[in-house]
Chain A
Amino acid sequence: MSDLTSAAVPPLGPEDHRRGGGELLIVYADLGCPHCASAWAEIAAREATVVFRHFPVASKHPRSPALHAAAEAAGLQGRFFEMVDSLYADRSHIDDPHLWQRAERLGLDIERFEDDRRSQAVTTRVRRDFESGIRAGVAQTPAIFPRTGGV
Chain B
Amino acid sequence: MIAAGEPAPDFTLRNQDGEKISLSDFRGQKVLLIFYPLDFSPVCSDQLSVYQEVKPEIEAKGVTMVGISVDSGFAHKAFQEKLGIDTPLLADFEPKGEVARAYGAYIEKTGHANRSLVLVDEQGTVEWVHESPTPLEIPGANLIFDALDTHGTG
> CB within 8 Å of B: which residues of A?
1-7, 57-60, 62, 130, 134-141
Contact = CB atoms under 8 A, between A and B. Distances in A.
A135 B142 contact: yes
A74 to B, nearest CB: 23
In the A-B complex, list the 6 residue pairs whose CB atoms are closest, starting with the nearest: A137-B140, A140-B46, A139-B138, A59-B52, A59-B84, A60-B49
A90 to B, nearest CB: 23
B60 A134 contact: no
Interface of B: 43, 45-47, 49-50, 52-54, 56-57, 60, 83-85, 138-143, 145-146, 149, 154
21 contacts: A1-B56, A1-B60, A3-B145, A4-B141, A4-B145, A5-B142, A5-B145, A6-B143, A6-B145, A57-B46, A59-B52, A59-B83, A59-B84, A59-B85, A60-B45, A60-B46, A134-B50, A134-B141, A135-B142, A139-B47, A140-B43
A141 B139 CA distance: 14
A58 B53 contact: yes
Nearest to B147: A5
A136 B138 CA distance: 12
A58 B138 CA distance: 18
A140 B138 contact: yes
A4 to B, nearest CB: 4
B140 A138 contact: yes
B46 A134 contact: no
Contacts of A137: 140, 142-143
Given A134-B142, A140-B138, A4 B57 contact: yes
Contacts of A6: 140, 142-143, 145-146
A139 B141 contact: yes
A136 B145 CA distance: 12
Contacts of A3: 145
Contacts of A59: 49, 52-53, 83-85
A88 B75 CA distance: 31
Given A59-B53, A137-B142, 10 more contacts: A1-B57, A1-B60, A4-B142, A57-B49, A57-B53, A59-B83, A60-B46, A134-B53, A139-B46, A140-B43
A2 B58 CA distance: 11
A140 B142 contact: no
A5 B152 CA distance: 13
